[in-house]
Chains A and B, each alone.
Chain A
Amino acid sequence: MSTRNQMAGHDVTSAEGRSSSEANRSGGPERWLVVVAMFVALAALPWLTTETRLISLAITTGINVIALYGLAILFGQAGILSVGHAALMGIGAYAAAILARDFGLGFWAALPICAFLSAATAGLLGFPALRVSGHHFVILTFAFGQLLTIVLTNGGEFTGRATGLDIGPIETTFGLDFNSLAGMYLLTLAFVAISMAAAHFIDISAYGRTLRSIRENPQLAASVGIDVRFHKIGVFMVSGLFAGVSGVVLAYYFRHISPSLFGAFPSVYLAMMVMLGGSRLLFGPLGGAIIVSFLPEILDLDPVEARIAYGAILVGVILILPGGVIAGIGIILRKLVAMARRIRGLRFASIESERNAEGG
């Protein structure tokens, strides 16, 4: 009987010992059903509420989430942290506005071009920055955010100076009108689903394993024939692709963009969302963005108080739950399950011992 208890205890510890991302990766078909059900439920939101405020907040959250999945691949998989992602979004957004103004390109035509431009910018930035350590990279990405703001402000008529640029509505495609709030919401949700799926497939692919090997031990990765520098710049470009798409959607949702949207601070907030949610989990970036966007609504905080709260929560999360809030919730749930199992195990054990007593 006592051995049995020990075995149960052993099982529990091994389940806890399994890394969260591993648990994440071994999802069965039920897991997919849960994801699909969640997206269906989210898609129904515009018909469940008439509060436009809630829906527009959900749209801006979703737009951030697109970029956040790129950031999560960069930091969670390859272990490279960027605090310049809003600037990469800005490249996409400004490219979309300029392509629409000077070449008459619509949303769908501009989307791949702008995403590519963001990725190319990321590559150019990564080229000198990823030569040395991660510290230099972090500082350079932050500086890049500041620089972009200066360039956009000083760019004259071409970038619209400090007031920024206007952009037309998304053209009607296949009879779908994206200019209603509900249409924009569904479009954003679709992009969120695509970026989430892309992040998942990178996570489970050989490419994801390559990136993780670089994160864990670059020297070892290089010694087995992985071109570390190529992949570092490559993954930054991949995450730039996400940022570019997010920027284009942002431009077409706001219909007006200005340099201040893409400075250093929006980037810091993006990094914060990823850290809060946890970068290695599939639901981490989504959770982090939802926490940051909806926390002030729920707690009824003014913007200044809300920012103090974000900062304090971020500090607390990093010190207490380095994997992020979502991973933290996962750990707590698993502990509860383990505790429930142990209690059940004890009950079985006591029943058994009663039986033994009866038998003997």
Chain B
Amino acid sequence: MEVFIQQILNSLSIASVIILIAVGITLIFGLTGIINFAHGELLMIGGITTWVFVHNGFSFLIALAAAIVVVGLIGFLLERGIFRFTLDNPMNGFIVSLGLIVVLQHVVVLLFDPNQKAIPRPLTTVWDVGDIRVAATRIMVIAVTAIVVALTFYVIARTRYGRALRASVADRETAYLMGIPVRRYVSAVFVVGSMLAGLGGAMLIALFPITPFTGSAIVIKGFAVALIGGLGNPGGAVVAGVVLGLVEGFSAGYGFSEWTDAYSFALMILILLVRPHGLLGGTEGPRVNS
């Protein structure tokens, strides 16, 4: 039982990072139809930014804020400079993102080095509850993710901006005709998605050391989660993220750790065979009329 609860905590903290990235991926896909493979690099840059700030003597909180701002800015620049020209043909957006993976990774390698980077744990407290050791950092990661995701969902489900966003996802052309500034929403979704990735990066480096190549390993799990939940469906991403996190956590806890990374793929295949549109149903991306 102790191992079980320990594993749940560990799994949920990893799942948090994956959910943060999957929500960004699935929001961007839902509105633009672009599968942004470079999203994992944004996560990595978020982690590296946190590392840079912490190593220059700033507190983790400031480093985290900096990571969110820096990555949000990069997301904005990428959307304005590159992705907006591929909105008519999302496949081109995907190909461009392949190029961006390589560029972003190696720019980081060029600026710093390819080695592993770590920061001291931002919260050193470890609570002993019975036989279970609960690291405060893990609780922080889970709590922050829960709050941020809940906030995102509130905005999407309850505010007029969220309604406009959902309208744009359902039908971009008609939403535009109804006076919704769809182009601005596209930018906003890229920025918010990137900020979530930046936050995810800061959370990740609080848990594990990262390298410039961590992003692409995580992003594939983000995609797996987005796909299992249903591409374009943020709620599905959260559910699938928790499921995948638990599966991975238990397999690692009960002695199949070398196969951990394979589960996301196996689950993906299984879900596609049984429910081709994901657990909670996704979208096909926007219709492109051009």
B234 interface residue, CB < 8 Å from A? no
Stretch at the interface among A103-111, A132-140, A234-242: A132-140
Min distance, Cβ A319 to any Cβ of chain B, angstroms: 5
Quick check: A136 and B265 within 8 Å, CB to CB?
no
Are A128 and B95 also in contact (CB < 8 A) when A142-B220, A150-B262, A307-B102 are? no
* A311 B103 Cβ-Cβ under 8 A: yes
Question: How far, in angstroms, from A132 to B261 measured CA to CA in the complex?
Answer: 24
Which residues of B in the span 218-237 have a Cβ within 8 Å of any Cβ on A?
220, 223-224, 227, 231
Interface check A265, CB cutoff 8 A:
yes
Kindly name the residue among A131, A151, A318 whose own CB sees the greatest number of chain B CB atoms within 10 A: A318
Among B102, B231, B272, the residue within 8 A (CB) of A268 is: B102
Interface of B is mostly: helix
How near does chain A come to B229, taking the closest CB pair, in angstroms?
13
B285: interface (CB < 8 Å): yes
CA gap between A215 and B276 in the complex, in Å: 21
Query: Which residues does chain A contribute within 8 Å of B35, judged by CB atoms?
Result: 135, 138-139
B277-A132 in contact (CB<8A): yes
Interface residues of chain A: helix, strand, loop or mixed (majority): helix
B93-121 residues with Cβ-Cβ distance < 8 A to A are 94-96, 98-107, 109-110
Question: Which residue of chain A has its CB nearest to the CB of B104?
Answer: A311
Q: Which residue of B lies closest to A310 (CB)?
A: B102
Residues of B within 8 A of A312 (CB): 99, 103
Asked if residues B231 and A136 are in contact (CB atoms below 8 Å), the reply is yes
Chain A nearest CB, measured from B105 CB (Å): 8
Cβ–Cβ < 8 Å partners of A142 in chain B: 37, 220, 223
Question: Cα distance A129–B262 when bound, in Å?
Answer: 17
Inter-chain contact B227/A139, CB cutoff 8 Å: yes
Contact of B269 among A128, A146, A265, A305 (CB under 8 A): A128
Interface of A toward B, CB cutoff 8 Å: 81, 83, 128-129, 131-136, 138-140, 142-144, 146-147, 150-151, 153-154, 264-265, 268, 271-272, 275, 304-305, 307-308, 310-315, 318-319, 322
Chain B positions within 8 Å of A, measured between CB atoms, are 29, 33, 35, 37, 82, 85-86, 89, 91-92, 94-96, 98-107, 109-110, 216-217, 220, 223-224, 227, 231, 258-259, 261-262, 264-265, 268-269, 272-273, 276-277, 284-285
30 pairs, CB–CB < 8 Å, chain A vs chain B: A132-B272, A132-B277, A134-B91, A135-B231, A136-B272, A136-B276, A139-B227, A140-B265, A140-B268, A142-B220, A143-B220, A143-B265, A268-B102, A271-B95, A305-B106, A307-B105, A308-B102, A308-B103, A310-B102, A311-B100, A311-B104, A312-B103, A314-B95, A315-B100, A318-B92, A318-B95, A318-B99, A319-B86, A322-B89, A322-B92
Besides the contacts A150-B258, A311-B102, what 4 more A-B pairs have beta carbons closer than 8 Å? A136-B272, A143-B265, A146-B265, A308-B106
